[in-house]
């Protein structure tokens, strides 16, 4: 898995030993996504709502947003923000076929507009790595 470009951009890549359609379904189909990211709800259409409810050190938190772009089997993009953030960030999942299966490229930008953006980006790198590893584990064993 590759790391990031600068202190406030999160960029990670994972190769999954499964075809693009199976990886795509794990991203957009709620019943499949529940196996690797159970606390995320999203409506996979442009303009669809995104809600992630998670537990942190201060209790329950919510990240909400909207799907900004969707190209079936290739791109899922969203703008979202944690409770209390003054700005949203932009997240893109890009899928590409490879000889082995699928490369998933994740990129989150806009953290530079948040107070403590570099620290938040470091936390998000760890979180996104966990999510991508969970995605790979689920898809490769199914």
**50 located within any domain:** yes
Report, in angstroms and rounded to the nearest whole number, the Rg of the chain calculated over CA atoms.
14
Asked if residue 114 belongs to a domain, the reply is yes
For the entire predicted model, the pTM comes to 0.92
Tell me the CATH number at 80. 3.30.530.20
Q: Is residue 79 part of a domain?
A: yes
Asked if the structure places residue 5 within a domain, the reply is no
Query: What gap in Å lies between CA 99 and CA 15, rounded to an integer?
Result: 10
CA distance 123 to 63: 15
Helices then strands, counting H and E runs in the chain, come out as 3, 7
| pLDDT tens digit sequence for 66-120 | 999 999 999 999 999 999 899 999 999 999 999 999 999 999 999 999 999 999 9
- C-alpha distance from residue 39 to each of 49, 64, 74, 114, 119 (Å): 14, 12, 23, 24, 23
Q: How many domains does the chain have?
A: 1
List the beta strands (DSSP E) in 2-44. 10-16, 40-42
Tens of pLDDT, residue by residue over 31-74, are 999 999 999 999 999 999 999 998 878 888 999 999 999 999 99
By residue range, what is the domain housing residue 137? 10-141
**What span, in angstroms and rounded, lies between the C-alpha atoms of 5 and 92?**
15
């Amino acid at each position: 898995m590759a790391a990031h470009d600068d202190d406030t951009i999160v960029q990670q890549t994972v190769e999954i030993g499964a075809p693009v359609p199976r990886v795509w379904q794990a991203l957009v189909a709620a019943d499949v996504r529940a196996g690797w990211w159970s606390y995320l709800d999203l409506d996979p259409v442009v303009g669809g709502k995104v809600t992630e409810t998670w537990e942190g050190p201060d209790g329950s938190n919510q990240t909400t947003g909207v799907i900004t772009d969707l190209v079936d089997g290739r791109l899922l993009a969203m703008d979202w923000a944690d409770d209390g953030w003054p700005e949203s960030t932009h997240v893109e999942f890009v899928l590409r076929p490879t000889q082995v299966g699928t490369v998933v490229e994740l990129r989150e930008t806009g953290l530079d507009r948040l107070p403590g953006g570099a620290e938040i980006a470091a936390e998000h790198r760890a979180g996104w790595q966990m999510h991508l590893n969970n995605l790979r584990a689920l898809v490769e064993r199914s």
